[in-house]
Amino acid sequence: MTPVKEIGECLITVGDEDYFFRPSFLNMKRIGDPQEIVQAFYYLHNDEVTPLLQKALKAYGVVPEWLLRYMGRPQFAKQTIYAAMNVMQACCERDVSALTGELVPGKSGKWGMVYRKGKVPMQNLVLIAQSLITHGIIGKAKVRQLQRHETGKATTEFNAFEYINAARNHFGMSRQEAEQLSMTEFQMLLAAKYPNQKGFTQEEYDQVANDYLAKKAKRLAKAD
């Protein structure tokens, strides 16, 4: 199956094995309940892994082996790694533990569960999972977001079923078809159906306001 990268799908091939990932509304539900979906997004985007990798790349040009070993410990960024594993498994019909690694009972007794690495490096797991969940619940379509639709409010849950129902109502889809949409594809379909919405985006509104204030300041300066 060929992935459509524009809507968040991806394909990972290891040897003769293909793993197809789709960040659909249905698969977002597999991450957990509405609160757990948002919690997974938080763990993936407020992690220790990404900033540390960025600093290492800036300083050394590569990620040193000693840093990878340090980051590979089960105690490091535990919630981030677990969230990445969960998101990737939710988005694939196959068992992905060969890629993501797995949790196994510790033999030493020091740790209850130990993380056994998979074939995909941990830093890549996080990046892939970040992309999947962003396409799945936030959307990455390049469409105009009108100011009146920008609430700026944080949310504690993501109800995938609401978007599935919305897709059925807007586009006349069956439930099965709507469940396979990612948020990115949903946004693109909305933009195609309602292309001429009137209004300003927040950026456009701010630009107009700034231009007005600048012109007003010039008029006042001339009057003085």
pLDDT digits (tens, 9 = 90+) for 71-110: 666 566 788 889 999 999 999 999 999 999 887 777 776 6
pLDDT at 181 over 90: yes
Single pTM value for the model: 0.76
Please state the length of the chain: 224
Query: Quick check: 26 and 180 in contact, CB under 8 A?
Result: yes
Structure confidence by residue, pLDDT tens digits, 3-26: 999 999 999 999 999 999 999 999
CB atoms within 10 A of CB 92: 20
105 pairs with which residues across the strands? Answer: 113
User: Which residues fall within 8 angstroms of residue 17, CB to CB, at 6 or more apart?
Assistant: 98
Query: Quick check: 103 and 153 in contact, CB under 8 A?
Result: no
Which residue from 36, 38, 30 is spatially nearest to 90, judged by alpha carbons?
Answer: 30
Which residue from 12, 33, 29 is spatially nearest to 21, judged by alpha carbons?
Answer: 12
Which residue from 77, 74, 83, 78 is spatially nearest to 117, judged by alpha carbons?
Answer: 74
CA–CA separation, 158 vs 132, rounded Å? Answer: 15
Structure confidence by residue, pLDDT tens digits, 41-54: 999 988 677 777 77
* 3 state SS of 27: helix
